[in-house]
Structure 1
Amino acid sequence: MNTISSVFKATHGVMTTEVGVISGDLELRTTSDKEGNLTLAITYVDAEEWYTLPGMSYKLYDTRDHHEVHRMLVAVLERP
């Protein structure tokens, strides 16, 4: 398992499956396994409860792309 985490500010909000839209200082965590299955989780900075992003299952074509996909997700989620 490979996990990457980044803190960012979401001024427009991010939709979650469990509680709807959250905004402010957030942390995105992406985890990939050896088969390329990708798990996306988000939380408020320093909070204990994690939420999932809506969508079906996520899979990387190549597990080496995990860092780049994570970086792109953060860039999209924090844009105004």
Structure 2
Amino acid sequence: MTQQSSVFTASHGVMTAEVGVISGELELRTQCDDDGALTLAITYSGADEWYTLPGEGYRLHDPRDHEVVHRILATVLARP
């Protein structure tokens, strides 16, 4: 299993499954197992409680794409 993490500022907010939209300085964490199953989580930077992004069953065709997909997600979530 691999894990990637990025801190970014979300001025327009990011929707979570648990608490709705959160904004400000956030941290995105993605985990990918050897079968390509992808887990997405987000938190306020420095906080202990993690939230999930809406949706389920995320899967990569090739787990080696994890780093690239993580960077794309972090960039899209950070755009104004």
TM-score normalised per structure 2: 0.99
Instruction: Quote how far apart the aligned CAs of 1:57 are.
Output: 1.0
Identity across the alignment (%): 68
Q: Distance in 2 between matches of 1:12 and 1:35?
A: 33
Alignment gaps of 5+ in structure 2: none
What are the residue-to-residue correspondences of 1:1-80 with 2, within 5 Å?
A: 1-80=1-80
1:59 partner SS: coil
Measured on the aligned residues, the alpha-carbon RMSD in Å equals 0.4
Per-residue CA deviations over 1:1-59 (Å, capped at 9, x if unaligned) read 10000000000000000000000000000000000000000000010000000012100
Mind listing any 5+ residue stretches in structure 1 that lack a counterpart? Answer: none
Counterpart of 2:28, as a letter, is L
What TM-score, normalized to structure 1?
A: 0.99
Work out the CA distance in 1 between the residues paired with 2:77 and 2:12. 8
CA distance in 1, matches of 2:3, 2:69: 12
Structure 1: which 4+ aligned runs deviate by more than 6 Å?
none
CA distance in 1, matches of 2:40, 2:21: 15
> What secondary structure does 2:31 align onto?
strand
Q: Residues of 2 paired with 1:75 and 1:20: CA distance?
A: 20
Aligned residues: 80
